[in-house]
Amino acid sequence: MTPPAPTRHTVFFISDGTGITAETLGHSLLSQFEGIQPAQVRMPFIDSDAKAADCVAQINAAGTKDGNRPIVISTLVNPGAATVLRQANALILDFFGAFISPLEAELGIKSSHTIGRSHSLVNSSEYVARMDAINFTLAHDDGVSSAELDKSDVILVGVSRSGKTPTSLYLAIQFGIKAANYPLIPEDFERNKLPDGLSKHRHKLFGLTINPDRLAAIRQERRPDSTYASIENCRWEIDQAQKLMRREGIEWLESTTKSIEEIGATLLQSLKIDRRTC
Amino acid sequence: MTPPAPTRHTVFFISDGTGITAETLGHSLLSQFEGIQPAQVRMPFIDSDAKAADCVAQINAAGTKDGNRPIVISTLVNPGAATVLRQANALILDFFGAFISPLEAELGIKSSHTIGRSHSLVNSSEYVARMDAINFTLAHDDGVSSAELDKSDVILVGVSRSGKTPTSLYLAIQFGIKAANYPLIPEDFERNKLPDGLSKHRHKLFGLTINPDRLAAIRQERRPDSTYASIENCRWEIDQAQKLMRREGIEWLESTTKSIEEIGATLLQSLKIDRRTC
């Protein structure tokens, strides 16, 4: 007995602001349902009754076309626009309606309901720290001077193409963390210890390792048929890197099946660091 | 009359997985309340009853210390852990409880409730596209060959330090969009048109401009007391860049007071492009 084919639904992400929260929320919810692949429509900057009325028209049209009510993930805070939106023939999951009221009661203050306020952060110390961290990480990708390592929050170590760069950039953009990289190379393995400049930062070090087959495949795309990309060399480098990290007492994670979000969360927990502000 | 000082609350972000969704959600909620600066505790990977019980102890301890119930933003999907968590003396905002049930009814299927599933995306085409886009954007920051522009989804143009690089990286990491940059320089203004290699990609072009005082301040940090950083030169470059973009029919945005999230959402809407998969 095969399960019935999933019915077709369109999902709308509707927001006064950028729609990032609505979309993150929505993806997280939808990922809990196997086998559905709904059409997705992002509608940011819905900050007036007229724009909300336009959304309602689009939602109802999609419902007619699909033969099923659309699903609406809304982070609208503007009361007028939210009221208009409720006229749509759809399942409306209203993020602010569900959570803002209990928070107002708990905190004993009223919410600002300011349109787009949650992303008007450009002058906040948190935003400045994120931009600084992006610049730092770009300037210090793959090898850094000792002086600059003093300024870093985290130093990722691992063999070439083990995932250090995307992880560093994610940490910078998401958390404002200044992440430097240090690629482990054959000279480090021959020396059998970390360079002196790195040892004194051991509390900031976090290692990445990777499955040798996966590493060989990634390197093969970069430099086809090179020694660098050969499975024998990849096995040797990873084995040496793990021995070095074990000897130096560096915590590490295998990146093969982990997303940058998972690596980042594990690293922050392990090094006991948190989102930065200036 | 001064308003009363806000009471002290600790906010916990609790998740089976990385906690990114709980934190995004939580920041969005908290930003609606003026003047509160709660202590924030991220507790990822809470995937057992024992770990949930440990959370409850920490939540209750914080409540005793603060003299106020903590606020808990939970994205727990594990029913056992969620039940344990409900024993905490806190305001618990339960994301899955509030939204999963109505979704199950609407879709007519049960949710998978798989722990951490929402971030186990490493082998998905969406994740692969994001990693490809990060590599592309890093390789093509500040000037690209015409051949490579064919592969880009977006080409950001603007004067040096107008915000192109952080925006490109955000688009790559968040949406898997291959974003190239083209810095507008005095040669472009003298020539009075875009280079031939760019003109044929006009549908992918998006401009960034910036307030001259802000630009001068940013450049001053990079190259103090240079002509490059002088307010006169910044005014001239921005004026020329805007004339060129207007002449070429390029949509642009002033980045001065906009976050990369806001710039990104505006750009996607304007160019009518969406999240990429392979």
- With respect to residue A4, please indicate whether it lies within any of the assigned structural domains: no
- With respect to residue A278, please indicate whether it lies within any of the assigned structural domains: no
Q: What is the tally of structural domains in chain A?
A: 2
User: Which of A10, A18, A37, A138 is the mutation pick for testing B, counting most B CBs within 10 A?
Assistant: A18
Count residue pairs from A and B with Cβ separation < 8 A. Answer: 204
B106·A69 Cβ contact <8 A: yes
Which DSSP letter does residue B206 get? E
CATH of residue A204's domain is 3.40.50
User: Would you put residue A92 in left (φ > 0), alpha (ψ -120 to 50) or beta?
Assistant: beta
> pLDDT per residue over B108-150, tens digit each?
887 765 544 544 556 677 788 888 898 888 887 666 666 678 8
- Using a CB-CB cut-off of 8 Å, the residues of chain B touching A36 are 107, 109
Q: Are B47 and B108 within 8 A, CB to CB?
A: no
B75·A45 Cβ contact <8 A: no
3-class state of residue B19 by DSSP:
coil
Residue B86: CA atoms inside 13 Å, Cβ hemisphere, count? 9
> pLDDT per residue over B192-244, tens digit each?
888 888 888 999 999 999 999 999 999 998 899 999 999 999 999 999 999 99
Q: Are A73 and A15 within 8 A, CB to CB?
A: no
- With respect to residue A276, please indicate whether it lies within any of the assigned structural domains: no
On whether both A258 and A142 belong to a single domain, the answer is: yes
A113·B6 Cβ contact <8 A: no
Q: Are B191 and B149 within 8 A, CB to CB?
A: no
On whether both B85 and B132 belong to a single domain, the answer is: no
- With respect to residue A1, please indicate whether it lies within any of the assigned structural domains: no
Domain hosting residue A231, numbered range: 125-271
> End of a domain among A75, A91, A119?
A119
Residue A150 has pLDDT above 90, yes or no: no
Nearest CA in chain B to A24: B21
Identify which of A243, A247, A251, A242 has the alpha carbon closest to the alpha carbon of residue A270. A251
- With respect to residue A277, please indicate whether it lies within any of the assigned structural domains: no
Phi and psi angles of residue B87, each rounded to the nearest 5 degrees, phi first: -75, -10
On whether both A151 and A202 belong to a single domain, the answer is: yes
> pLDDT per residue over B41-61, tens digit each?
989 989 899 999 999 999 999
> pLDDT per residue over A74-97, tens digit each?
988 888 999 999 999 999 998 878
- Using a CB-CB cut-off of 8 Å, the residues of chain A touching B31 are 117-118
Q: Confidence class of residue A272 from pLDDT cuts 50, 70 and 90? A: confident
Q: Is the dihedral of CA B39, B41, B42, B47 positive or negative?
A: negative
More confident residue, A254 or A8: A254
Q: Go through B196-212 and write b for each residue having 16 or more CB atoms within 10 A of its CB, e for each that does not.
A: eebeebeebbbbbbbeb
On whether both B251 and B148 belong to a single domain, the answer is: yes
Identify which of B205, B13, B175 has the alpha carbon closest to the alpha carbon of residue B94. B13
B208 forms bridges with which residues in the sheet? B253
Residue A163, annotated ligand binder? yes
- Using a CB-CB cut-off of 8 Å, the residues of chain A touching B75 are 28
Give the H/E segment covering residue A187.
helix A186-191
> pLDDT per residue over A218-237, tens digit each?
999 889 999 999 999 999 99
On whether both A65 and A184 belong to a single domain, the answer is: no
Identify which of B209, B208, B210, B201 has the alpha carbon closest to the alpha carbon of residue B154. B201
A96·B32 Cβ contact <8 A: yes
Nearest to B93 among A19, A102, A257 (CB): A102
- Using a CB-CB cut-off of 8 Å, the residues of chain A touching B82 are none
